[in-house]
């Protein structure tokens, strides 16, 4: 629940609710909502509905009389000032029809960042920025992380038995969670630009890694050498990105060469994916891959699926002696799927 203290916050909260309607159809664009107010009353609303389509303010402005004066435009994100899939939205925001623009946040995209304010101010339009900014960033966390941290927004996902095992035995795939849990994972995949797994996971499970018709399919990223995998595996039909990091490890005699190199290469990997334009990444690898991301601290969420099964032995998620007590995690949500539970953790920053 958003705590509302001012008139601007009241109208911005409505704009945020408009933005949320865009759901995943706007990706990789951010969700944006707009509200136009005249004499204290809402006269028009709009939201960005699909990627490549008109922006939120365009929908809102199309619904009002262009002879109107002194209306206030509330918009969750700074209007675009450059030509992309559509023309600059700033061209449509004119004085005296709109006398003030209240924004939730500046656009972190360097093509826009702050430019719209200069343009609007130059026309005599008053601007205000930062109203419910935290909430605006929350609904577009992938977008803001990408531009502000110059890496994808990273979600770690894993499934374990009640006693912490990810498989009953080494080298064999084990079904852990039920159908509803799997469906929620497929939805999560549809919201992410990329999905990452290790070579061993591909080799053992031969996973499909798709959203199973629930939305866009993420780009597949595989850690390890392409040459070590059978070309008949499913992933080879999906143009995966291979990231091999063994040559970056100086200790070539180490028996744990692949592990050691992975621990040291999470940041370079994320930098590479950033330059590929990947705003969000779902990590679904095995224990070594997940542990490496956790130890690096370069992640944003953990989605832990836990099934009411006790294996007694098998492959643990974490190896004995793994310590990560420096991670400050908070529980963000708790959801039940049939007899499974999903706990979503976030870093307490």
Known catalytic residues are 57
Q: Give the three-class secondary structure for 280.
A: strand
Which helix (H) or strand (E) segment is 136 a member of?
Answer: helix 133-139
The separation between CA 256 and the C-alpha centre of its own chain, rounded to angstroms, equals 32
**Residues 6 or more apart whose Cβ sits within 8 Å of residue 102:** 8, 11, 12, 72, 73, 74, 75, 127, 128, 131
CA distance 99 to 72: 6
Identify the CA nearest to 306 among candidates 330, 284, 327, 336: 336
Q: Give the three-class secondary structure for 207.
A: coil
CA distance 99 to 104: 17
Which helix (H) or strand (E) segment is 101 a member of?
Answer: strand 98-105
Q: Are 285 and 197 in contact (CB under 8 A)?
A: yes
Q: Are 251 and 257 in contact (CB under 8 A)?
A: yes
């Amino acid at each position: 629940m958003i705590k509302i203290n001012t008139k601007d916050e009241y109208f911005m909260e409505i704009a945020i609710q408009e933005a949320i309607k865009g759901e995943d159809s706007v990706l990789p664009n951010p969700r944006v909502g707009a509200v136009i107010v005249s004499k204290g009353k809402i006269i028009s609303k709009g939201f960005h509905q699909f990627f490549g389509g008109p922006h939120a303010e365009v929908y809102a402005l199309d619904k009002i009389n262009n002879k109107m004066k002194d209306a206030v435009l509330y918009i969750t994100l700074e209007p675009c000032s450059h030509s992309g899939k559509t023309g600059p939205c700033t061209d449509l925001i004119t004085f005296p029809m709109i006398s003030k623009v209240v924004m939730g946040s500046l656009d972190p995209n360097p093509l826009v960042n702050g430019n719209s304010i200069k343009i609007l101010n130059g026309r005599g339009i008053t601007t205000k920025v930062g109203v419910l900014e935290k909430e605006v960033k929350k609904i577009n966390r992938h977008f803001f992380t990408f531009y502000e941290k110059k890496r994808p927004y990273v979600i770690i996902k894993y499934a374990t038995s009640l006693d912490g095992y990810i498989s009953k035995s080494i080298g064999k795939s084990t079904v852990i969670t039920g159908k509803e849990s799997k469906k929620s994972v497929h939805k999560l995949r549809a919201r992410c630009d990329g999905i990452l797994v290790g070579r061993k996971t591909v080799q053992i499970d031969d996973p499909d890694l798709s959203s199973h018709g629930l939305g866009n399919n993420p780009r597949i990223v595989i850690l390890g050498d392409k040459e070590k995998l059978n070309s008949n595996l499913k992933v080879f039909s999906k143009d995966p990105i291979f990231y091999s990091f063994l040559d970056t490890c100086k200790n070539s005699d180490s028996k744990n060469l692949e592990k050691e190199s992975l621990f040291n290469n999470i940041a370079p990997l994320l930098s590479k994916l950033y330059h590929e334009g990947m705003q969000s990444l779902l990590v679904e690898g095995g224990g070594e891959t997940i542990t490496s991301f956790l130890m690096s601290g370069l992640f944003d969420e953990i989605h832990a699926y836990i099934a009411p099964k006790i294996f007694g032995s098998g492959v643990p998620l974490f190896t004995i002696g793994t310590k990560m007590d420096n991670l400050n995690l908070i529980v963000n949500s708790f959801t039940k799927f049939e007899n499974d539970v999903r706990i979503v953790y976030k870093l307490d920053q």
